[in-house]
Structure 1
Amino acid sequence: MTLGTNLTFAGGIATSAVVGWLLSLTGLPLAWILGAMVGSAVYANTVGLGGKTKYARRLGQLLIGGATAAILTPGILGELWSFLPAMIAAAFVANALGVLLAFPLQKIAGVDRKTALLSTLPAGMSEMASLARETGAQADVVMVVHTLRVVMIVVMVPFLFGIDRSAVAAEVDPQASLAALATCVAGGLLLSIVTARLGVLNPWVIMPMAVGIALVSMNVSIAAMPWWLIVGAQVLIGFSLGARLKKEDFARVPRAAIAAIICSGGLILIMVFGFVPILRLFIDVAPVSLALGVAPGGLGEMIASAKALGAAAAIVAGFQFTRSFLTNIIAPPLLVRFAVGPEGTDEAANT
């Protein structure tokens, strides 16, 4: 990037941080993420953003992954293992709903079946957009729908559930190691660079947690992430999310934006208000943690929201990763069957 591009990029992050700070003064839940998102969106649509915002998002995800690793204990790891059936069930329910909602989205947005399915499957935006490019679907529509869904979740969940005070107070281990925390972040970075080239999903969040799991398994206690680094991670994630909200993208596919609001809103409401009460009959987890766990949002955004709201970030990470992993496994074969018409012809050719 040129000097001018770097300055413009830095200006966007600074604007996001300032707006996030101002909003935090109001006591609003998730203020740093929401404020950064608003500041970034305004900046991107007025001044413009140079450079690739994905690097800011990756850094934010890396820090959030390290912060989540710091709360892991042998007891939490055992609890996560016991929740695996619930995580798998939530993943299958979300994907089934995603398939069903592809039909109304196809009609409302006026797109082909492949584009509709990739838009409604609850996986990461980057993964689904990449698959859209590979299969000839409309990647711009997929990106708009996924972006709006994550924004809707980030805005809705904190207002609906508030802060989970029961999860805020955590015991501080006097033996906790800052070196172990640094190992999670640095080791997570190295592993992310390697595994990203191998196609591993969301490595920037998962790899620091994987290092943390290894350390905890060796009875190493990890020091908590400093609060200012967690705030910085929230600003970076909010910044990268707001940078996607470009008016020209929505102006280009206005019907997709309308379809996203309707169908994504339906998916969010069903998962949060329909499935969370069912899950609570089987597992004893606070509503806000389950809501963020089953909400069809981005892995990094949902874990960052969990950290900001005092929810159980490790549980949220478990639910989110399980769904993302299973969705990306079933998406390609499902896409092939879904995109073929009832008479065995390619549906896209008939639209």
Structure 2
Amino acid sequence: MKGMLKVLSLAIIGGYVFSLLHIPIPWMLGPIFSIITAQFLYKGTLSWSPRLQDIGIVILGIAIGEQFNLSLFKNAGILLLYMVLLNSILIASSIALAFVLSKWSKLSLKSMILGTIPGGLGQILLFAEEEKDVDLAAITYFQIMRLLLVVVVIPFIVSGHIVSKSAINIPMSFNLILLFLLSWGCAYVAKRFKMPIAYFLAPIILIIGLQLASFDLAPVPPLVMNGAQLLIGAHIGLILKPHMIKLPFRYLVAGILSSVGLIIITCGTSFIVSYTLDYSFATSFLSTAPGGLDQMVLLADAINADLSVVSVFQLFRLLFIFLFVMPVLRYYYLFTAKKRAFELEQDIMTKS
């Protein structure tokens, strides 16, 4: 509990300072910066419950559900085509980038691919843990570095495209508390049934369903959204541990280069989306950026980008990676392992 209170204090200080400096999404970036800094200077215990991050994600899901534009699905066929195309470009570019960096850093290609593919941090690491011949520490570092650089760099790239949101003083209401409890319960049940990204997706589906049923829903106050930023930012800030920088120097540099490379690639693909689908640059970039779904949507909300478009594109990327790319990689790795075992057996038989 003491460790969590320390993290909460650091997160509040960081968020407050960043808000005074008018930095984009201050209540997420501020906690990330202050907590990462503290971990390298403070030797005591710092801790944060994953459940607190889940609370922030549920709040975010409610806000998205309330603002979701169902007319987006009128062009579902065109959107699907673009999402498949853009994600195919992203995955192909990730593998090409991994191949080049693997040659330079001397890290195995398999480990580099798993470190470079822009999937969810937890799911990629679970996949990597099941593989026996990968460098799990390097993969963890690569994925965390990607997440941190995307979250820190992209707000400044799109900050010039901010459309100011009108300041609305929305009071906290009992109805919103009930809505949160209902959303949390639905997310918990969905999680038990193995729904992907349950704490994010279940509230969105619930809120859209309630709106279609003509329920009058309480809006999420800006103060509560700031709290969601803080809860998510504190979790991200604790991910990078000081011991992770003890990896070989080439691994450390390759992790930064892979993240920067992915940002450049998605910056290019965002122009395709912006030009062909007539979305703003901010909406297009956040839709294709290789960051976490919750962070990109929080930033979209902060700069008044199209939440529906960003949510759909980011969600599709995660599902595309875990329902298609990861199974293909698993099959490929099993096939190559069996092939190597067969060739070794044949070689032994030939020599005998």
Q: Deviations over 1:46-76 (max 9, x none)?
A: 1444445422322221111112112124445
> Relative to structure 1, is the Cα distance of residues 343 and 82 closer, same or farther in structure 2, using a 3 angstrom cutoff?
closer
Partner in structure 1 of residue 88 of structure 2: 92
Which residue among 150, 154, 159 is the counterpart of 1:157? 154
Matched residue, 1:277 = 271
Superposition map of 1:39-118 within 5 A: 39-45=34-40, 46-75=42-71, 78=74, 83-118=79-114
Instruction: Write out aligned runs for 1:130-169 (5 A).
Output: 130-136=126-132, 137-162=134-159, 164-166=161-163, 168-169=165-166
Contact 1:167 1:311 in 2 (8 A): no
**Structure 1 residue matching 2:67: 3-state secondary structure:** coil
The alignment status of 1:33 with 2:28, answered yes or no, reads: yes
Counterpart of 2:348 in structure 1 is none
Normalization by structure 1: what TM-score?
A: 0.86
Inter-partner Cα distance in structure 2 for 1:139 and 1:62: 30
Shift in CA distance, 322/179, structure 1 to aligned 2, threshold 3 Å: farther
1:320 aligns with 2:311: no
Cα displacement (A) at 1:297: 0.7
1:253 Cα shift? Answer: 5.1
Structure 1 residue 298 and structure 2 residue 302: aligned? Answer: no
Alpha-carbon offset, residue 342 of structure 1: 10
How many Å apart are 1:133 and its aligned residue?
A: 0.6
Bigger Cα displacement from structure 2, 60-69 vs 215-224: 215-224
Identity of aligned residues (%): 22
Contact map agreement 2:3 2:48 (CA 8 A) in 1: no
Distance change >3 Å, CA 286–CA 258, structure 1 → 2: same
Deviation of 1:36 after TM superposition, in Å, equals 0.8
* 1-structure distance, mates of 2:193, 2:114: 22
Query: What is the aligned partner in structure 2 of residue 3 from structure 1?
Result: none
Among 117, 136, 150, the alignment partner of 1:121 is 117
Show the counterpart of 2:231.
236
Q: Distance in 2 between matches of 1:38 and 1:49?
A: 17
Q: Distance in 1 between matches of 2:287 and 2:167?
A: 20
Unpaired segments ≥5 residues, structure 1? 1-5
**CA 1:328/1:253 → structure 2, altered by over 3 Å: closer, same or farther?**
farther
Structure index of larger Rg:
2
Question: CA contact under 8 A between 2:187 and 2:202: conserved in structure 1?
Answer: yes
How many angstroms does 1:232 deviate by?
0.8
TM-score by length of 2: 0.85
Equivalent position SS for 2:142: helix
For structure 1, which segment, 138-147 or 50-59, has the greater mean C-alpha deviation from structure 2 after superposition?
Answer: 50-59
CA distance in 2 between partners of 1:209 and 1:44 (Å): 34
Once the two structures are superposed, residues 96-143 of structure 1 have per-residue CA deviations (whole angstroms, 9 ceiling, x without a partner) of: 222222212323443333322211111100000011111223332222
- 8 A Cα contact 1:15 1:36, kept in partner: yes
Moved more, 66-75 or 311-320: 66-75
C-alpha displacement of 1:262:
0.8
Cα drift, residue 77 of structure 1: 5.5
Counterpart amino acid of 1:99? I
Matches of 2:67 and 2:195 in 1, distance apart? Answer: 23
Per the alignment, residue 268 of structure 1 pairs with: 263
Residue 298 of structure 1 aligns to which amino acid in structure 2?
G
104-113 vs 10-19, which deviates more? 104-113
Report the counterpart of residue 201 of structure 1 in structure 2. 196
Q: How far is the alpha carbon of 1:183 from its aligned partner?
A: 5.6
Is the contact between residue 307 and residue 313 of structure 1 (CA under 8 Å) also seen in structure 2? yes
Per-residue deviation at 1:151? 1.4
Task: Note closer, same or farther for the CA distance 1:338–1:295 as it changes in structure 2 (3 Å cut).
Answer: farther
Task: Between 294-303 and 178-187, report the one with greater CA deviation.
Answer: 178-187
Counterpart-to-counterpart distance in 1, 2:264 and 2:4: 35
